[in-house]
Every structure is written in structure tokens, then in C-alpha cells.
């Protein structure tokens, strides 16, 4: 984690933090993914200079490239390059990938090789479309490095980071809704690290609980069980954890 001051931003902080991450852990990863807030030419150039590939989200903060991606992919009118279908929360989730391979001088963005579109649809058991989402990405990867199925998997892994750690801190642990300390730099840093430690401990506890069918216990339920065992001293059958 890196503290960002009131007059600073995520994008400049990214440029300070990434070289240190690559120096310490670079042997363990080859691709850097980021949401649209970090999508910038300077960040893309830095990732490539450090010998890594990138996959960055595209939204209105990059209007020219975002609009070009929408036009380029829409003009193809071709079937999806890759498709997955799975059950989640009582619905069928369908994800499809479209791509546009870039020539070296086609767009003014360092190292860009491919534009991606991922469409995600949620269908109920009566084949009614409940939700639909379109997400665009720019990446330095092409199909000589990752095939279409791996590119779609990469986007899903990127979403998984947000949906697991960040979502749990925000929704389950109420990181954004509660301010348990004075808004000073030291206090904020201490609380941020305590929350990260709490998340890691809760995650370890959750993995040792008896699963619910094929899935782990819900995060909220894991919080309740951990609270009951630590605060109230209740011994429940669900808390019998095997060695």
C-alpha cells in the first residue's frame, strides 16, 4: 500500500510504486492490470520499460482511444473470439470477448497491440436478460503471447482482484463507510494496515470453515462466526475446524 496525499493522484503514485514492486516481486508476474483511472501513456510506457505487459481499462478519461476502440470493434460485426458461461448467485453469467489487433502506428499509445471488448450478461432461469455490461481495454499483449481464451481469462482475473479484496474491505468491513480515526497521515496509514491484516486473518479463517456446498462460506457469515468465537465465546459446530 502507498499513501496518496490530498493533492496527489493514483496515476503519479503508480509510477512511483511500480518500479519498487517489480524490483521486489518482478519474477512472479508478467502482466500489470489496472482500471481506467490508471490508464495513461506514461504508465503504459513505464510498464513496458520495466519488461512487463499491461492490460488497462478504457473509459472516458481516455476519450480518443476509448471512442476508437468502440468504433473499431463495432465495425467488425464478427462472432466473439472467446466465450464462457457459468452459474453464479442463481443466474447464468455469459462473458464474451471481441478484439481488434493494432498496427504499430494505428493509435498514439505506447506499446499498444490489441483493443479488447468484454461483454458480460446475467440471465435468469427463464432466459430473461437481467444485466448487461460492456468493458473496453487496451493491452500490449497480442495473440502470439496470449490466445483469445487467455485474454478473456486475464480480464476475469483483473475483475477478481476488485471483487475479492477491495469489495470485501468496502462492503463487508465497511472501509469507505466508517472513519475510525482522525484524518491524519499517520492515523490513516495505521488503520489501513490494520484493515489489511484483518482481511488476511479473516480470509484464512474463512478457508478453514466447512464449505457451503461447492463454495466457501459467505464473507458476512464468516465475519459473524469469527465475532461470535472471539467476542461472545460461543462454540458452534460450524467452528470446528479440522487440522
Q: If DSSP states are collapsed to H, E and C, what string results for 61-77? A: CCHHHHHHHHHHHHCCC
Query: Grid coordinates representing 24?
Result: 521486489
Residue 61: per-residue pLDDT: 87
Report the alpha-carbon distance of residue 116 to residue 230 in Å, rounded. Answer: 47
Find where cell 497480442 sits.
142
Count other C-beta atoms under 10 Å from residue 125's C-beta: 9
* Cβ-defined contacts of 158-167 (< 8 Å, 24+): 158/33, 158/55, 161/33, 162/35, 165/199
Residue 178: per-residue pLDDT: 73
Residue 141: per-residue pLDDT: 97
> Is the Cβ–Cβ distance between 56 and 44 less than 8 Å?
yes
> Is the Cβ–Cβ distance between 75 and 97 less than 8 Å?
no
Q: What angle do CA 162, 221, 181 make, to 5 degrees?
A: 65
Element (H, E) at 101: strand 91-101
Tens digits of pLDDT across the chain (243 residues): 777 776 678 888 899 999 999 999 999 999 999 999 999 999 999 999 999 999 999 998 899 999 999 999 998 888 999 999 998 778 999 999 999 999 988 999 999 999 999 999 999 999 899 999 999 999 999 999 999 999 999 999 988 776 677 778 777 777 777 777 777 888 888 888 888 888 888 889 999 998 887 778 888 888 888 888 887 765 544 445 555
Report the alpha-carbon distance of residue 14 to residue 4 in Å, rounded. Answer: 10
Residue 214: per-residue pLDDT: 75
> Is the Cβ–Cβ distance between 129 and 121 less than 8 Å?
yes
SS3 of 9, please? Answer: coil
Query: Grid coordinates representing 138?
Result: 487496451
Amino acid at each position: 500500500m502507498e499513501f496518496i496525499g490530498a493533492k496527489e493522484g493514483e496515476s503519479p503514485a503508480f509510477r512511483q510504486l511500480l518500479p519498487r514492486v517489480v524490483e521486489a516481486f518482478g519474477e512472479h508476474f508478467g502482466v500489470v492490470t489496472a482500471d481506467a483511472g490508471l490508464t495513461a501513456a506514461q504508465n503504459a510506457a513505464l510498464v513496458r520499460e520495466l519488461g512487463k505487459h499491461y492490460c488497462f481499462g478504457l473509459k472516458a478519461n481516455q476519450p480518443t482511444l476509448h471512442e476508437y476502440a468502440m468504433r473499431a470493434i463495432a465495425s467488425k460485426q464478427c462472432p466473439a473470439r472467446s466465450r464462457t458461461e457459468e452459474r453464479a448467485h442463481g443466474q447464468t453469467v455469459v462473458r464474451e470477448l471481441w478484439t481488434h489487433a493494432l498496427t504499430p502506428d494505428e493509435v498514439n499509445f505506447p506499446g499498444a497491440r490489441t483493443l479488447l471488448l468484454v461483454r458480460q450478461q446475467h440471465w435468469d432461469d427463464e432466459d430473461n436478460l437481467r444485466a448487461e455490461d460492456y468493458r473496453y481495454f487496451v493491452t500490449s499483449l497480442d495473440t502470439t503471447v496470449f490466445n483469445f481464451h487467455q485474454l478473456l481469462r486475464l480480464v476475469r482475473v483483473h475483475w477478481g482482484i476488485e471483487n475479492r479484496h477491495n469489495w470485501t474491505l468496502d462492503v463487508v468491513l465497511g472501509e469507505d463507510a466508517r472513519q475510525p480515526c482522525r484524518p491524519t497521515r499517520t492515523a490513516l496509514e495505521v488503520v489501513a494496515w490494520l484493515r489489511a491484516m484483518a482481511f488476511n486473518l479473516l480470509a484464512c479463517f474463512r478457508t478453514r470453515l466447512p464449505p457451503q456446498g461447492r463454495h466457501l462460506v459467505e464473507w458476512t457469515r464468516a465475519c459473524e462466526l469469527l465475532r461470535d468465537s472471539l467476542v461472545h465465546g460461543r462454540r458452534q459446530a460450524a467452528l470446528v475446524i479440522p487440522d
